[in-house]
């Protein structure tokens, strides 16, 4: 073969060429990329949910109603509720404020507002503090019930949604852990195949007196690069969805931040790759297989 | 440089590769290791670079007891040995430079010195213009010369060659021998396993002949007139069967 017809590969500084990137690596890259993309999507959903809840929570007030309650009873209810830990304030909603709200709500319809207003129960508005304990909402409900009032159930549902979101977030961490382990296994298997293909190189390095880390490090770096590369790719693939759904999310007062996911996806992928490579290189071909 | 006493090597399969080998190889010698196939030539070389641990007896290589040596000591020893393997064991997915520079990288040479050193050793074997070629583009003789360049790149005091001329034509084999002889003249001890005793006619050296895992014959290369051991030089010695 003449020199002119020889194959050539891009050289790194120092004269070294990149390790061969074959079908196994492409496959691992694609699978890990899909897994990371799915994870990114789930965390984006979580971000959207948290933001949506956050905007509601920002204005969140609970309302307790007391049928036929006089001002004294309402005042007592408000005072008792204000004493609860986690409650920022509680006040009796004045009659004029209720009338104004009712007027705004009904518009200029031909309804007898005064009669309607008379039929409305006495209302106490409760504002939660910035740090609410796990049992605040049940404490409020208990206290309201004890004093013969009722709590707005719709507002309590929001609290339920918030709890669900907290549970979903915990579940998401678990799913993340499982997927990271799955990615590590995929990269580990890929590297095992690469190791088999490059067994000669490993054996030769050992026969030349290379220590364990000299032999393992290129494979661990390759695993980390595979994981990080998949992370970058997955991150880019999130953008069509982020941009496509931007207007829809804007209507919900939610603005997704894709940039915040870049570092976790790249470093997470790299860590999963490194872990997989570390496992794959735990049992490298030994000298007896190298020399017999 | 190398001392063996009642050296025995038995593989886990039960096959006894070496049995009762006693020999001494001083520094700076050129030694042919010969014998029929399965006589134990490759096994002896393997013991010398720590690829196999002796089952019994004693083997000392560069003052290291190969039976008792720890892994890190064997690794250190290997960095002082240049090995030319049977079928040369070049990495075909790597360039000639990367093949030659591998022992240097193992020894922790700085990257900026690697190209210059690789070029120099390839110049020695006449392949300086093939630095960035892949081994597949080279002929069998050229590949063997790359293997020699790799073995000598760290300038090791001991070079072990396992049938380096096995598959080569006479002309190429002689050229390979010239390189090995020159390395020997530069101070390296060379131990070469071979079937081809005709090489001794043009490239003289000491001879250790193995038969069925034991040392059958020892010949020292020197003119008959000075064939006694009182001339101040050290010679290869061995106990036959």
Tell me which residue in A1, A16, A20 faces B93 most closely, judged by beta carbons: A20
Task: Identify whether the C-beta of residue A15 lies closer than 8 Å to the C-beta of residue B122.
Answer: no
How sure is the predictor about A42, in pLDDT bands with cuts at 50, 70 and 90?
Answer: very high
Chain A residues with CB-CB distance to B93 below 8 A: 19-20, 198, 201
Reported as a single tens digit per residue, the pLDDT across A57-111 is 556 778 899 887 688 889 999 999 999 888 889 999 988 888 888 777 777 665 6
Tell me which residue in B49, B94, B107 faces A17 most closely, judged by beta carbons: B94
Average of per-residue pLDDT values in chain A: 83
- Which residues 179-238 on chain A approach chain B with CB closer than 8 angstroms? 198, 200-201, 204-205, 207-211, 214
What is the model's pLDDT at position B174?
85
List residues in chain B touching A: CB distance below 8 A: 11-12, 46, 49-52, 72, 74-79, 83, 85, 89, 91, 93-95, 97-98, 101-103, 105-107, 111-112, 114-115, 118, 129-130, 132-134, 136-137
Give the gap in angstroms from C-alpha A201 to the nearest C-alpha of chain B.
Answer: 7
What is the model's pLDDT at position B141?
84
pLDDT for B240 beyond 80: no
Q: Locate the chain A residue with the closest alpha carbon to B48.
A: A207
* Reported pTM: 0.71
Interface ipTM above 0.85 = no
Structure tokens at B186: 């530069």
pLDDT for B94 beyond 90: no
Reported as a single tens digit per residue, the pLDDT across A213-261 is 888 888 899 999 999 999 999 999 999 999 988 888 888 878 888 899 9
What is the model's pLDDT at position A22?
81
* Cβ atoms within 10 Å of A57's Cβ, excluding its own: 15
Task: Identify whether the C-beta of residue B160 lies closer than 8 Å to the C-beta of residue B83.
Answer: yes
CA angle A7/A12/A16 to nearest 5° reads: 65
Reported as a single tens digit per residue, the pLDDT across B136-165 is 999 888 898 899 899 989 889 999 999 888
Structure tokens at A269: 């992928």
Task: Identify whether the C-beta of residue B20 lies closer than 8 Å to the C-beta of residue B57.
Answer: yes
What is the model's pLDDT at position A171?
94
Tell me which residue in A15, A209, A288 faces B114 most closely, judged by beta carbons: A15
Reported as a single tens digit per residue, the pLDDT across A122-136 is 899 988 877 666 677
């Amino acid at each position: 073969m003449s020199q002119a017809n020889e194959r050539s590969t891009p050289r790194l500084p120092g004269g070294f060429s990149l390790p061969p990137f074959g079908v196994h690596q492409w496959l691992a890259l694609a699978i890990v990329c899909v897994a990371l993309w799915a994870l990114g999507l789930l965390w984006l959903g979580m971000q959207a949910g948290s933001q949506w809840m956050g905007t509601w929570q920002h204005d969140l007030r609970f309302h307790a109603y007391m049928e036929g309650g006089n001002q004294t009873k309402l005042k007592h209810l408000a005072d008792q509720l204000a004493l609860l830990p986690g409650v920022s304030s509680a006040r009796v909603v004045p009659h004029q404020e209720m009338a104004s709200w009712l007027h705004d709500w009904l518009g200029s319809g031909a309804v007898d507002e005064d009669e309607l207003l008379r039929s409305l129960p006495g209302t106490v508005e409760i504002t939660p503090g910035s740090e609410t304990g796990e049992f605040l909402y049940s404490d409020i409900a208990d206290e309201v019930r004890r004093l013969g009032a009722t709590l707005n159930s719709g507002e309590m549902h929001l609290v339920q949604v918030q709890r669900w979101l907290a549970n979903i977030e915990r579940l998401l961490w678990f799913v993340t852990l499982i997927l990271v382990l799955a990615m590590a296994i995929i990269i580990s298997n890929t590297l095992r195949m690469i190791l088999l293909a490059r067994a000669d190189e490993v054996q030769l390095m050992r026969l030349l007196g290379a220590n364990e880390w000299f032999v393992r490090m290129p494979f661990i770096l390759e695993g980390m690069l595979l994981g990080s590369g998949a992370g970058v790719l997955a991150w880019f693939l999130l953008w069509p969805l982020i941009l496509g759904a931007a207007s829809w999310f804007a209507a919900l007062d939610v603005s997704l931040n894709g940039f915040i996911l870049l570092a976790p996806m790249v470093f997470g992928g790299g860590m999963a790759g490194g872990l997989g490579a570390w496992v794959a290189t735990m049992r490298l071909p030994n000298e007896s297989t190298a020399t017999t | 440089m190398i001392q063996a006493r009642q050296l025995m090597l038995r593989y886990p399969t039960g096959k006894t590769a070496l049995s009762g080998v006693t020999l001494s190889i001083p520094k700076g010698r050129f030694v042919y290791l010969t014998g029929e196939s399965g006589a134990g030539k490759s096994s002896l070389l393997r013991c010398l670079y720590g690829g196999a641990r002796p089952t019994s007896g004693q083997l000392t290589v560069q003052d290291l007891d190969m039976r008792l040596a720890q892994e890190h000591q064997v690794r250190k020893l290997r960095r002082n040995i240049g090995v030319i393997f049977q079928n040369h064991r070049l990495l075909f997915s790597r360039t000639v430079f990367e093949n030659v520079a591998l022992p240097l990288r193992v020894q922790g040479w700085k990257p900026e010195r690697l190209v210059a050193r690789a070029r120099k050793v390839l110049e020695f074997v006449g392949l300086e213009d093939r630095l960035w070629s892949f081994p597949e583009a080279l002929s069998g003789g050229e590949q063997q010369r790359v293997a020699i360049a790799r073995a000598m790149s760290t300038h090791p005091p001991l070079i072990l060659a396992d049938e380096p001329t096995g598959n080569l034509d006479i002309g190429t084999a002689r050229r390979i021998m010239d390189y090995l002889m020159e390395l020997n003249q530069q101070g390296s001890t060379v131990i070469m396993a071979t079937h081809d005793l005709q090489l001794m006619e043009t490239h003289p050296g000491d001879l250790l002949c193995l038969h069925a895992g034991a040392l059958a014959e020892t010949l020292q290369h020197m003119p008959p007139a000075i064939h006694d051991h009182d001339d101040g030089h050290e010679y290869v010695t061995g106990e036959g069967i």
